[in-house]
Each structure stands twice: as structure tokens, then as C-alpha cells.
Structure 1
């Protein structure tokens, strides 16, 4: 579960090395479903190369929650932990190289690492970072206009704008593709010309 944090916690490298053989490496095309909404998550996903999207279906309309890139990991955590149906779908947006670690080995890894000094602090730091990210997104949806959300995206996560198709960005921002085009046009007109 923690392979993407191995560089931040090098003192735990023996654990990473031990569980590498249990990961399944896959080279998959774009639009590959890694977890389907309604299925129980049984794998932790690590992205070596490519881009992955987490989304849910809202009456036939996809709503994008998050994008994940190289050296990031993900799963539908409530589904993975509680053996409940996932409320999200996870799919690749680009041809990707991913590793899957079955839940059985994730549980074993967590049991072993939990005995290490500082493990609890490390886990709290990891969860706090994710929580801060999702809290800031929620606050932005309540407080900011779609234009401000797009500007925040340009400033804070420009790689999303560079790599992700526009209709997914619109879904992520909670606007239509037409509205996103208007926002981009308005911002382009407001740029100074030299």
C-alpha cells in the first residue's frame, strides 16, 4: 500500500523489497478499467507510467473525482478496507504501466510495518496529506467560481491541464465542456500581449 512513499521512508526499504515479487506488472492501453463501480476492491494500484482517473456515475454522467500520475498509488479505500462495493470506477487515461498488489499482501505488509518505530506517525502524515488535499478541493467547490477553480488548477497542478483531455477536466471542475471553453477563452483574452 505504501510503495509510492518508499523514497520518503527509506528506513523501510527492506519491506518494499520483500513485497515487490508479489506485485503484478501490467502494461495496459488507455481506457482500461482497473476497478469498476459496484465491485469490491481487491488490489492496491501503483502507477509506474501513465495516468489514471477515479470517477463515479451520476445518472449516466461521469463525475471525475481525481487524477493520479506516475509514482502515485490508489484504490477505493472504503471498499478495500471494508470489503464493500466500490462507489468509484478507476480507469487509465493513457497507455500505462501499473503494478497491482493483492489485498492479502497489503495486509501482511501493514502488519509487519506496524511494528516499526514511527509507523503511526508516518501513517498519520500520509492520511493528513490526502485529507488536506480533499478538504481544499471541497472548500474550493463551495467558495470558488468555476473560473477560480480552473485558475487554481493551472497554478497548483498544471500537469493536469497539459495531459488530461478537456472533457475530463470539465467533469473534474464540475462544469460542461462548453463552459470550460468559455473560461479558457476569457482567460486567454485577459492575458497581456507583449
Structure 2
């Protein structure tokens, strides 16, 4: 039942003991969601961190009525609206299920209990925070320094699964363009590829 998340923890912290794992397992709950479900809603406080056992999710914001995708997360990863979860304030984003999902859920109170009584989980929390910080910096630099064409090239190179799993309008907002602009980028790149092989 908890094979994937257990493997994840032991990969991150090989020194984790069975007793340490057991106390975490006792606090995990399992929830299933259908495609289209909204796990975290903009304006509500996020009370859980989620490990994605099965499924595919995306973050998006509604800004002046526009749906702006800000991230995509697949299986064997942790996800949450972290600022809302940690500050106990309303979330600025939505977390939506793009493919039917099974999530392992840990509440805010249970996480605080683990931090207080089990130092190994403080270490784990720090590692996750560091990874999240690196992702935010990389994403910010990408939006500030790269052209839309370069962002799309990065998706092809680093996240090619998004091309099959994410609708074009979501991909377009993720790289900061309209769907029509994304279509032009794709056509331009296809033309380049044809020219190279002629």
C-alpha cells in the first residue's frame, strides 16, 4: 500500500529506521481523486502535503478570469500549496487533478508532530524545502531570461511527457503565451527540423 512513498523516503534518507517509518505510516491517509477534481482551491487554506502514488496534477491560478498554469507534477513526487500550508493562509493557486490520482496525505498537525518528536523528519523537511527553492529559482529565471521558444525547447528536452499529457492551452499558459502563439512556435520548430534533415 505504501511501497512507493516508503521507497521515496528511504532513497532520500537511507538511515531512516523502521520505527521512524512506522510513526509516519500511522499518520498517512489515502485519498483518491478523479480527473477534474480540485484538491486545493484558491482562497482556501491548504491543510495537507500530498505524495502522488498514482496520477498527474497541475497548479494553476485564475488571474482576471484567465487560467494560468504554473506547474505540473507526476507520480512519486510530493506536492502542496506550500505557502498556504506553512503560513496557514489562503492559497494563491489551485491544485487540479489531470489524471485520476491516488494520494498519500499528511496533515499540518501531523507534520508538526513529526518535526517536534523525530529529528529525522526535520532533516527530510529541509531537503524538500531546498528542492522546492531550487525549482522556484529555476522557474523564475526561465520566465525572466528565456524566450517562449526557449521555454518550449526546455519542455521538449526536460519534460517531454507534458506534450502528451497536457492540453495545448495549458502548455501555452505555462510558457507564457497564447495557444495561437504556441501553435506558431511548434510550426516554426517543425519547419526547422525538416530543413535540418533535407
TM-score, structure 1 normalization: 0.88
1:173 aligns with 2:175: yes
The 2-side partners of 1:111 and 1:96 are apart by 30
Match of 1:89 in 2: 94
Q: Post-superposition shift, 1:45?
A: 1.1
Whether contact under 8 Å (2:115, 2:122) holds in the other structure is no
Q: Post-superposition shift, 1:10?
A: 2.5
The 1-side partners of 2:118 and 2:187 are apart by 50
1:31 aligned to which of 20, 31, 36: 36
2:15 aligned to which of 11, 25, 35: 11
Query: Once superposed, what is the RMSD of the aligned Cα atoms?
Result: 2.1
CA deviation map 1:51-79 (0-9, x unaligned): 11111110111111111110111111121
How many aligned residue pairs are there? 190
**Aligned-partner SS, 1:184:** helix
2:51 aligned to which of 35, 46, 55: 46
TM-score, structure 2 normalization: 0.86
The 1-side partners of 2:26 and 2:143 are apart by 41
Whether contact under 8 Å (2:67, 2:173) holds in the other structure is yes
Query: Taking structure 1 as reference, are residues 13 and 135 closer, same or farther at Cα in structure 2, changes over 3 Å only?
Result: same
- Structure 2: 5+ residue stretches without partners: none
1:72 aligned to which of 71, 74, 77: 77
CA deviation map 1:77-115 (0-9, x unaligned): 12111211111111111111112222111111222332x
The 2-side partners of 1:24 and 1:119 are apart by 20
**Aligned-partner SS, 2:11:** coil
Using the TM superposition, name which of 129-138 and 4-13 deviates more. Answer: 4-13
- Structure 1: 5+ residue stretches without partners: none
